[in-house]
Structure 1
Amino acid sequence: MSAVYGGADQSDILEADPELIASKASETFEKDGPLLVVASGRDTISVASSVKRLAPDHVFTIQIQHPRSHLSRFDLVISPHHDYYLLTPEGKKQIPWFLRGWITPRQPPRRNVVLTLGALHQVDSDALRCAASAWHDELASLCKPLLVVNIGGPIRHCRYGADLAKQLTASLMNVISTCGSVRISFSRRTPKQVSEILVREFRNHPKVYIWDGQDPNPHMGHLAWADAFVITADSVSMLSEACSTGCTWKFAYFHKCLQERGMVRPFTGEENVSFFICIQRNRI
């Protein structure tokens, strides 16, 4: 279960026990004020709402990601904007009416709902400065521009395998002459057939480094030092993090919003990465 409980010292709570958390909140209320309960993900919805029900005046509950129903059970809901996509005219055209209740909130955002463009993450200017320092020795001397390729994995509504790996390999081969360096990272969800194809094609290329999955994870260093990114479309989080420096209707809407803001573009394999980086720097 992905949940964080903060405020008073809750180090003696080993599991997300609603009754125990509510009891602690009541005990410490006079001294410390309301207990802040932050919960993230579907599995935490019942826990956070139970805590609020058991100690309504002694906790302030924040639910990250839309709980799909019972918004009034939480003091604050932080939800990505694409969870409300079906409330838009374009969304209503794409999804049959009898399916909408299953995949999107039925109500428009309430006053206690905060909408974000992408996923919440910890990548900010301070984190990037720390990462730039920590990875300076390994990444600062690489030839520029540095292209980072982050590869996730297929999800229920976004299937891919060897076909994507072959297409991505061909596209990277087309642009690699315009790159100074390329670093490729796989996630734990990346299918073996995908990683094997890319490793086979690029493991001996002098410009390319492929992370082997061993600690330390260079992800934050890549975010701090990369000049450009190629990211598979299955992960809202990876795209959101990269934008701090399309596989389902929700992801398509998320990608569309990013493209309209000039934050991302489709990877065609015809880019001149050096020229593209110059344009981006001039815009900044």
Structure 2
Amino acid sequence: MRPIRLPEPPGGGMGTPEIFTGGAATVVRRAVVIGNGSPGAENQCLGLVRALGLADHLTLYRVTRPQGGINEWLHFLPISLHKLIDQVLRQFFRNTRFELVIQGRKPYRVPNGGSVGVSSVLEADTKKIVAVARDTFDKEGPTLIVACGWDTISYSSSIRHLASDSVYVIQIQHPRSRLDRFDLVVTPRHDYYALTAGGQQEVPRLFRRWITPQEPPGRNVVLTVGALHQADSTALRLAAIAWHDKLAPLPKPLLIVNIGGPTRNCKYGVELARQLITSLYNVLDSCGSVRVSISRRTPRKVSDIIFKEFTGHPKIYIWDGEDPNPHMGHLAWADAFVVTADSISMLSEACSTGKPVYVIGTEHCKWKISAFHKTLQERGLVRPFTGLEDVFGLEMPEFSAPMVQIGFAALWQDAVQQYATKRL
């Protein structure tokens, strides 16, 4: 069995950055994460908190919209207005024949945090978060607030407005307007594609003022190549141990195939599934094993084709979504990856391992997602998957999770120093 290799974090371990052991005004001992129920968004928050050494000192809150019935048509509304309308409708039509139309058949509930590795989740409450931040400030210092997703913006900005002396607010993903509402905004570089020459040509002049962002990034904006995540060297080593008995005995080299689902800016259908099947057969002789992961976003017609073609194949195993999720184990044990072009999160995680990453379906992408893929290819982080390449012979540049962590630690140090100067 060929041993796996994972990048070693500098200094023997990340631990808690030195910035958290300074003067009383700069010490940060706890974090609050505000999520929106999407694993992709919440994992970005948790990844940043991990990089800052606060993974064991965080509380996860979740913003939840009313679900079921007519609410499925109201998700375009601001969340506060949506909740108000839902409350009024439920009260008005209670015990009438229209009650089922309003609330649907499924009960409204706050999902737990199992999908993001947190045992319990609290319903987001601005007043409660502000009160706790103020009450704990003298003993624990400022509370780090990390939020991600459109529905979290009103919560995080309100918290900063109400308790600016007790919190430091980081918003992940571009909030579209008024970036001065946050201490820091962390967003992918491709969110600014609308300001490039190519982006301007793709947008009719009439709509340009509505395409965000409208201004270049300011001093409180940090641009990333892809999405933040939790797959650092420590997490991968733990996953390698946890999945050793399952994945270590597999014939090597191991190719991991991650299949996402079509999005607004990356549309595809069964034609991509057929293309993937043909390309996999072309490289199968060089693989010891292939493990295919189907995501929740994968269309049924795509997954059906994959299952029909590969079920029972001696070299290929397909994960069908049943727990436990092998994703972290795959990141740790893979020798190479093939990822569909729609998933920025999966591509970001795979690239951070430093292993060969191949992408299929980029020709179906447009707008800022196309710009994202262009950046990855220019940096030598990915290659197109055609089935004609030696998928295990590609030398990858240095691009690892610890490097990302160091970058954010340095960034955070500068941010906290600015915060301390403001207070003093």
TM over 0.5: yes
| Aligned residue type for 1:268 | T
* 1:203-282 equivalent positions in 2, closer than 5 A: 203-245=311-353, 246=362, 247-273=365-391, 277-280=392-395
1:114 — aligned with what? Answer: 222
Aligned-pair CA distance for 1:69: 0.7
Aligned-pair CA distance for 1:127: 1.1
Decide whether aligned partners of structure 1 residues 82 and 206 sit closer, same or farther in structure 2, where only a CA change above 3 A counts.
same
1:22 — aligned with what? Answer: 130
Decide whether aligned partners of structure 1 residues 20 and 279 sit closer, same or farther in structure 2, where only a CA change above 3 A counts.
closer
Which sits farther off after the overlay, 238-247 or 15-24? 15-24
* 1:12-161 equivalent positions in 2, closer than 5 A: 14-161=122-269
Count of residue pairs the alignment pairs up: 281
Q: Percent identity?
A: 62
State the secondary structure of the residue aligned to 1:114: strand
Aligned-pair CA distance for 1:282: 11
Which sits farther off after the overlay, 244-253 or 47-56? 244-253
Q: Measure the CA separation in 2 of the matches of 1:258 and 1:117.
A: 8
Aligned-pair CA distance for 1:42: 0.6
Q: TM-score if structure 1 supplies the norm length?
A: 0.91
User: 1:73-130 CA distances to partner (integer Å, 9 max, x unpaired)?
Assistant: 1001111110011222332233333333434311111111111100010011111111
| Aligned residue type for 2:315 | K
Q: TM-score if structure 2 supplies the norm length?
A: 0.62
Which sits farther off after the overlay, 82-91 or 207-216? 82-91
* 1:164-203 equivalent positions in 2, closer than 5 A: 164-203=272-311
| Aligned residue type for 1:258 | L
Give the alignment's Cα RMSD to 1 decimal: 2.5
Structure 2 residue runs of 5 or longer lacking an equivalent are 1-35, 62-120, 354-361, 400-424
| Aligned residue type for 2:148 | S
| Aligned residue type for 2:338 | V
State the secondary structure of the residue aligned to 1:90: helix
| Contact 2:258–2:293 under 8 Å retained in 1 | yes
User: 1:37-58 CA distances to partner (integer Å, 9 max, x unpaired)?
Assistant: 1111111000000111111212
